[in-house]
Structure 1
Amino acid sequence: MKIDVNSDMGEGFGVWQVCDDAALMQVVSSANVACGFHAGDPSIMTRMVRLAKAHGVGIGAHPGLPDRQGFGRRELPFSADELCQQVIYQLGALRAIACAESTRVTHLSFHAAMGNIINRDATVALQVMQAIARIDPDLIIFAQPDTIIERAAQSIGLPTLTLFLADRAYDAKGQLVPRGKPGAVITTESAVRSRVRQFLLEGTVTTIEGDLLPIRARSILIHSDTPGSVELAAIVRNEIEANGGSVCPASEVLLG
C-alpha cells in the first residue's frame, strides 16, 4: 500500500526556524509549507519549494490565520469571506513561488485555528472549497476523516486525502485532545512507533481514554514543532516500509 508521510514545514520567520527543515525534507513525502501568515516568509517559502523539488516531495500550501504571535493557534473573529480571502492569498503566493521554480503546488492542509473554524461550519467550509476549486480543481485537500472539511471538498469534486496524526492524542469522539492537556502531544519514539504500527496493521488508534478508535487514513502527519520531529518522522517511514508499504507523495497515493 502507498502511504504519504507529511509534515507542516517552513514554520519559521527570518532567522528563526522551528526544526531542521532540510533534514525533515529527506524523510517526508509531502511538505505543507507555511504561507506567510502564521509563519513563513518569501525566503523560507522559496527554500521549502526548492528543497521539496530536489527531494521529490509533494508541495502543499499550509494556510493559517494572520497571527504570528499566537502561531495561528488562536481563534480570531473573521467572516467566511475574510477566511476565503486569506486562503486564496496564501495559496496564490505559494503557487507563484512554485511556478517560478518550475514546479507546482499539489495539495493544501489548513493550519490549526483556521482549520478548526472552517471545520465547524458546513456553509463556511463549502464557501472556502468553492474558492479553492476556482483556483485549482485538482488540488488535494488534506483532512481528518469524516469531517466537515472532507465532506465539503468532496461535495464539489476536490480530491481529498485523510490524515492520521501520529503525534497527537485522540479522544473517544475522534477529536484531537486540546494542546496543553496532559498527553495531548506524543513525543516519545516508542509511543509513536507503537501508534503507527497499530494504525498500519489494525486501522485503529487507542484513545486517551483507552478505547480503540477506527482510523481511515492514507497519510500520516508528524508536526515539525513536535520535539524530535525529524526522528519521529523517520520512525513513521520505517514502520510503513517494514510493514510492506511504500512512502509516496499524496498525488501518487491517490493514483493507487
Structure 2
Amino acid sequence: MSALILLVLLVGGVLYLGGGLVHLYGYLQARRIHPQAPRLWDGQRRRFFWLTGVGAVLTIGFFVMAWWSAPGHGAAWMPQALMARQSQPGSPAATDGAETMPPPQVKVRGAVPAFNQALETTTSSTETTTTDTTDTTTSTTSTTESTATTSTAPPPPPVKKPAARRGGDAWTVCAASFRREAVAQNYAKRLADQGLPARVNQVDLGKRGTWHRVCVGSFSTLDEARGQYKSWEKQGLISDAFLLPLR
C-alpha cells in the first residue's frame, strides 16, 4: 500500500510540474510576441501557477511519505514484501537482506496404547476367579480355564486418538523481521501505539545471522491466529505477516 501511494504521488507530481513548465514556456513566448495584449498570455500564466502549485504539493507529499515509510522510522513494508515474495512456491533462494521463514509445524504427542486397559481387565477377571474358588471346585476349574484363555489372547491393537498439541498459547502472528534490533523496537512501538501490544523476539538462524521478529498476540490454535491476522489485515494494521508456533 505504501509503495502504491508513493507511485501515485511521484507520477502526479511529475505530470503537474511538466504541465506547468509547458504553460510557462507558452506564457513567455506570448508575452514576448504580444507584450501589449495581456489577454493573450494572462490565462497561461494563471495555469502555470496553478499546475506548478499542485505539482509542488504532490512532490512534497512524495518525500514526506518516503521519509515516513523508511525502515529507520518504523515502517516495514519493504522487508515484508521481500518475505512474502520468498515464501511463495518457486521463488528464488533467500538472500542476506530478507529472512525466509519455515512453514509452521505442530508438535504432537503419540497416541497412548490401550494395552494397560486390557491388562486391568485381565487382572480383574483373575481376582473374580480367585474369589469364586472358595464356593466350589467345579466353578473354580471352569473360571480358571476361562481366565487362562483370556490371558493368552493377544492384546487388542492400540486405539488411535487424535493428536494432542502441547501447550495452551501455541501460535503467534509475526508482523515483520529485521536484522537491526533498533528498527524492530521502533516498529513494535508503532504497533503498540495502534493498540497492538507487540514484542521483539531474537532468533539465531545460523549462517543467515541473528534476526529480530516483531510478534503480536498468542493464540491456542492455528485457526484462531489466522482469523485474528485476517481481521488486523482488513483494518490496515498489519500486512504480509506470517504465523509461527511459540517455543
Q: TM-score range by the shorter chain?
A: under 0.3
Which is bigger in relative contact order (C-alpha 8 A, separation at least 6)?
1
Q: Which has the larger radius of gyration?
A: 2
- The structure where helix makes up a greater share of residues is 2
TM-score by length of 1: 0.22
TM-score by length of 2: 0.23
